[in-house]
Chain A
Amino acid sequence: MSTSFDRLIDGMIEALQSHVLPRSGDEFVRGQIFSTIFALNGLKLTADWKAAPLLEQVRVQDAALSEVGRLAVRMKHPPIPALPRTEGIAADPVVVEALRDDGDRILGELLFWASSEDARGADPSAAREIELLLRRSICEQLKVELAMTPKSMLHQIATGEEGG
């Protein structure tokens, strides 16, 4: 989910055209490649990332931001946006992805703040709790991505051999 959908499709088409097609002399195989390129172009026009996992990530981020706001109520901290951030927005994956990416930046900023001398000086126990909460939340968010990651094919990709 860190690569944009269109870029991924473009990369697949280009890889087929520049790396696979020139090494394929068989008429049937070339027909298969061109058909796959056609299908990928079709996907680019009709498909996109699923919005639900992105929304789930934003929900996880919002829950963490809300909890940080509660724990840091008496501390001077970086701004936390109005929650929930998804209220009133369209379920357009591009919009939700931008919201998720913005959430990552806010969480990063809070994480740096929670481990700073300022936060530790103000309330060491709250600062530590916030730091751990943010790290847990970021990992939980990554878990959503892991659920959508296919089984590793590193061996096949690195060696070009089947199996592994």
Chain B
Amino acid sequence: MARLHAVGKLMQVAVAPKERSSQSQDPARAPVVPDETTVRSALERHLRRELGSEVEIDGFERKSSGFSWITYSFVAKTTAGASRKLILRVGPPNGLFAPYSVLPQVRALQSLSGTHVPVPGLVSFDQEGAELGCPFFVCEHVEGDVPVPWAGSKLSEEHRRDIAGQFIAILGELHRLDWRGTQLASLQGGSEERDEVRAIAGWCASLERPTARYYPLLDWGGRWLLENCPLPPRRTIVHGDYRIGNFLEREKRITAILDWELVHLGDPHEDLAWALMPTFNGRSKKLYGVLERDEVVDRYQRASGVQISAKSLSYYEAFALYQAAAIQMRAVRAFEVDEFNDMRMAVMASQMASIVRAFDRALEAAV
């Protein structure tokens, strides 16, 4: 055991099989998913209080069976006869990134309303989740479809070029915004640690949670990332999950950028590197399968006014893979340690070998 303590933190907490079974029998760890009737009545009570009138909910429907936030769509009708199509997003206690906070998303939607970054309008939120037992927020429904990032798109090349161009232009707008004086300024850390380093440290901490398998390259590479984080050209709002699949598009226009749960302040290279990951581009190195990397960088620089550093981009490409590995490990842990019987989590474990190998290659390129 003494030998283990000399090495990285992830190693120290790799769980032995015996410990694994004793932890997993803790009933407090059992997954809890609010049923739809409970969610719906909690929502009615919440909206009645927020809107100050009786509210009837129609067409209540779960929109996704995602790994993290649960999304529902519905129509809220007031006694005055007004009717609004809305979206409810709930952070379930057993979700992949639990425990959840609605505050980053709420602050992003508040701060970006009325800017050139299209976002759904925020209606209300409840961080304490008094009615539901977990945090949630309500926002306007925005018309559009979500493109699927995992497979090659059936849309025409011209269509995808249009969308990819807007996608980069919006990212440039996001990174141009002065966050000081907005709600997002509260994301700034008060400590001496740089914001971008704090974001990386968060993922390192996530990997320190107990899992069945220890990956030496992740442990070692995580420390390298922490020790070699470049200075940002400008500290900007970073979406944190800016990729194909996290926006709505309608009639060749991006109508809303979604999923702001990982928003933070940091280095703009982070969003660009994440968006370029082949996983989110139908396994292509081109953005949305159509825009070459150089063209992406060129368009982005013009849109944002940020000068891209090849070295920083390489660093954040390595970090993107590290983050992807940390997300997969969360899923592995949910299945293996918490005994969350969602087979999608178990399948994610099988991707670890390819991600860790790609991470090593990316690290070599970033050095």
Please list the residues of chain A having a beta carbon within 8 angstroms of any beta carbon in chain B: 2-4, 7-8, 10-12, 14-15, 18-19, 78-79, 101, 104-105, 107-109, 111-112, 115, 134-135, 138-139, 142-143, 145-146, 149-150, 152-155, 157-160, 163-164
Contact = CB atoms under 8 A, between A and B. Distances in A.
Contacts of A10: 339, 341
B217 A135 contact: yes
Contacts of B17: 4
Given A12-B343, A138-B360, A163-B151, A108 B6 contact: no
Nearest to B363: A135
A11 B332 contact: no
Interface residues of B, number: 44
Contacts of B224: 115
B8 A108 contact: yes
A104 B341 contact: no
Contacts of B351: 149, 152, 154
B223 to A, nearest CB: 8
Interface of B: 3-4, 6-8, 11, 14, 17, 20, 65, 148, 150-151, 211-217, 219-220, 223-224, 279, 332, 335-336, 339, 341-344, 346-347, 349-354, 356-357, 360
Q: From DSSP, what is the main secondary structure of chain A's interface residues?
A: helix
A15 B65 CA distance: 15
A42 B347 CA distance: 21
18 contacts: A3-B335, A3-B346, A8-B346, A10-B341, A11-B343, A12-B346, A78-B3, A104-B213, A104-B216, A105-B4, A105-B14, A108-B216, A109-B11, A112-B8, A134-B216, A138-B356, A142-B354, A155-B148
Given A105-B14, A158-B150, A3 B217 contact: no
